[in-house]
Amino acid sequence: MDTSKTAGTTGATGATGAANTTGTANTTVTTGTSHSRMTRRRLLAAGAAGAAAAVTSGCGGSASADDGPMRFWNFYAPQRSEDPALNAQSKWFTDLVEKWNRSHKRQIELLYMPPPTYQNGSKLPTAFAAGDGPDIFLASPGDFLRYYNGGVLADLTPYMDRRALDDYHPDTLDSRMVDGKVYALPMEVEPLAVFYDVGVWEKAGLSEGDVPTTWDRLLDVGEKLTTKTRAGLVLKTLPGYLQNFLWYSWMWLGGGDVLDEHGAVTVDSRPVRQALQLWQDAVRSGITPTTAPAGDDMISGFKAGRAGMWHSGIWEIASLKAFAPDLEYGMFKHPLPPGGKYTTALGGWSFCANAKGRDPQAAAEFCAWALGTMEDECVDRITDWCIEAKRDIAPRKSALRRGTERGGYDDWAMKYMKEEVFPGGRPEPRYPPVVYKAMSDALQGSMLAGRDVGEEAARAAQSVEAYVRSYKGASLI
């Protein structure tokens, strides 16, 4: 629940000097001729609520292959920014499409929109419902079933190198597959951990030896770090796919889950209740504020001394390097409940092709060409995204190996993420909106409303069970 995932900056007009075509919600940019100006957020949220029915209602009929260039919707706008990572991410996308356009008759144009509009709004599902969805787009696992069940996703498998399928890390493709076929190709893997401010830690009389390995110890340390102006531990409180994505790890640590391996509903269980209880206890004790400090921006929070620990993901590393290079910070893996087993949720965004777009075959070919072959150029492209444009774990073994050889995981933070946090992780689940909402309501009711966690788990289980009984579509797990 990609990746999502600090307030963005507004970029200047591109170096070409060409005029921008800017609307209130999105910007179309034909690569090689113009650049856009818009604001984007680095914090990658994981999808938006909605129903598969909204996708299917207007999807009839494919557009003609002569309807103009294929449209690639995404949220990485070309811009000049004080953040070098934003510039690098923009350039990666424009370079990618420009290279395709130079060597293929079927052209592509990039269409950008602000991340909140793309990730948390209704624009993308509404466009598909109206039969005017993009030909190529980015999707998180949280939106996979909405689009697959709506008949939107093209099968990418025929256009991929079979060896590339085996090159993905185990389980990385599972949430993007149905009946052995691939319908979305991951461009990144984003694990979660707990970050902490070393200076604050030391002022509180703590050392590396105090890094918590249990939930009880986490709360104890959080209490020591908490003051009238500083949160001991920041957990996500704003409801949404991102909050669910961040919370799932804690549920899994104790062996809990929404659905078991057979698809049976397991929400009303001790591990789920204890994970809800942990987040409730963190708020009740005053360790975790109900509103995240510094505008929910970890780097600003640490720089202002407003937080001691912050639960977040690998995407923070690039921002820390760019905006707080002198800040000494540490991180640690998720602590465990009694009898628990370590894991972390693995987020990340994927390329998808519209099965009912202008040219589904060309769109699918583009996705496979970009991310799904064993050509050196393809592997290098994925590597560049994960160690230069962003700071992520590469989703494919060859790219991770190449990124390691190029020194992309040499610094302590990336090395720790790669060697300690990432192994043992679980891909973000692909729960559809109804399941997501049931769990979100339980988390909000427990954490912020202070309601009984047993009642919240039971209520969520009832909602999920009712949905599962009538559900018709691809497997929920």
User: Which pLDDT value is given to residue 44?
Assistant: 30
Rounded Cα distance between 349 and 377, Å, is: 20
Q: Give the rounded distance of the alpha carbon of 399 from its chain centre.
A: 19
Query: How would residue 229 be classed by pLDDT, with cut points 50, 70 and 90?
Result: very high
**What's the average model confidence in pLDDT over 450-475?**
97
Query: How would residue 113 be classed by pLDDT, with cut points 50, 70 and 90?
Result: confident
Query: How would residue 66 be classed by pLDDT, with cut points 50, 70 and 90?
Result: low
pLDDT tens-digit map of 339-365? 999 999 999 999 999 999 999 999 999
pLDDT tens-digit map of 118-172? 887 788 989 999 999 999 999 999 899 999 999 999 999 999 999 999 999 989 9
356: Cβ contacts below 8 Å, ≥ 6 apart: 59, 60, 61, 62, 63, 131, 133, 151, 152
- Residue 169: closest CA among 366, 424, 475, 408: 424
- Residue 332: closest CA among 348, 349, 308: 308
Q: Do 386 and 408 meet the contact criterion of CB atoms below 8 Å apart?
A: yes
Query: How would residue 12 be classed by pLDDT, with cut points 50, 70 and 90?
Result: very low
Per the model's pLDDT, the better-predicted residue between 37 and 55 turns out to be 55
User: Which pLDDT value is given to residue 80?
Assistant: 58
Is the pLDDT at 79 greater than 70? The verdict is no
**What's the average model confidence in pLDDT over 168-188?**
95
Rounded Cα distance between 63 and 135, Å, is: 10
User: Which pLDDT value is given to residue 54?
Assistant: 36
Amino acid type, 391: R
Give the lowest-confidence range in 78-92, 123-137, 246-260.
Answer: 78-92
28: Cβ contacts below 8 Å, ≥ 6 apart: 21, 36, 71, 109, 110, 111, 112
Listed in sequence order, the DSSP H helices in 150-269 are 162-167, 198-203, 215-225, 241-253
How crowded is residue 69: how many other Cβ atoms within 10 Å of its Cβ? 18
User: Which pLDDT value is given to residue 420?
Assistant: 98
How big is the CA angle at 236 (ends 231 and 238), to the nearest 5 degrees?
A: 115
Q: Do 286 and 228 meet the contact criterion of CB atoms below 8 Å apart?
A: no
Residue 75 structure tokens? 């949220």
User: Which pLDDT value is given to residue 56?
Assistant: 35
Q: Cα-flanking dihedrals φ and ψ of residue 259, to 5°?
A: -135, 140
User: Which pLDDT value is given to residue 53?
Assistant: 35
Rounded Cα distance between 420 and 425, Å, is: 10
Rounded Cα distance between 348 and 196, Å, is: 23
pLDDT tens-digit map of 397-424? 999 999 999 999 999 999 999 999 999 9
**Paired sense of beta strands 70-74 and 108-112, if any:** parallel
The residue length of the chain stands at 477
Q: Tell me which long-range contacts 373-382 makes (C-beta under 8 A, separation of at least 24).
A: 373/160, 373/161, 373/164, 374/161, 374/163, 374/164, 374/167, 374/398, 375/161, 378/164, 381/96, 382/187
Per the model's pLDDT, the better-predicted residue between 25 and 99 turns out to be 99
- What pTM, to 2 d.p., does this model score? 0.86
User: Which pLDDT value is given to residue 81?
Assistant: 62
User: Which pLDDT value is given to residue 142?
Assistant: 87
User: Which pLDDT value is given to residue 238?
Assistant: 93
User: Which pLDDT value is given to residue 187?
Assistant: 97
Between the alpha carbon of residue 238 and those of residues 108, 219, 441, 444, the distances in Å are: 36, 21, 11, 8
User: Which pLDDT value is given to residue 21?
Assistant: 30
How crowded is residue 375: how many other Cβ atoms within 10 Å of its Cβ? 12
Query: How would residue 76 be classed by pLDDT, with cut points 50, 70 and 90?
Result: confident
Listed in sequence order, the DSSP H helices in 330-452 are 360-371, 376-384, 397-405, 412-416, 433-447
pLDDT tens-digit map of 322-346? 899 999 999 999 999 999 999 999 9
Q: Which domains does the chain have, with CATH numbers?
A: 21-189+348-423 (3.40.190.10), 192-346+432-470 (3.40.190.10)
Percentage with pLDDT > 70 across the chain: 85
Rounded Cα distance between 146 and 151, Å, is: 9
**What's the average model confidence in pLDDT over 442-449?**
97
Q: Average pLDDT of the chain?
A: 87
User: Which pLDDT value is given to residue 88?
Assistant: 87
Instruction: Assign 227 to helix, strand or coil.
Output: coil
User: Which pLDDT value is given to residue 119?
Assistant: 81
Please provide the DSSP assignment of 121-173 as one string. Answer: SSHHHHHHHTT---SEEEE-HHHHHHHHHTT-BPP-GGGS-HHHHHHBPTTTT
Which range, 49-58, 113-122, 316-325, is most confident?
A: 316-325
- 455 membership: H or E segment, kind and range: helix 453-470
Query: How would residue 226 be classed by pLDDT, with cut points 50, 70 and 90?
Result: very high
Please provide the DSSP assignment of 77-121 as one string. Answer: -----S-HHHHHHHHHHHHHHHHHHHH-SS-EEEEE--HIIIIIS
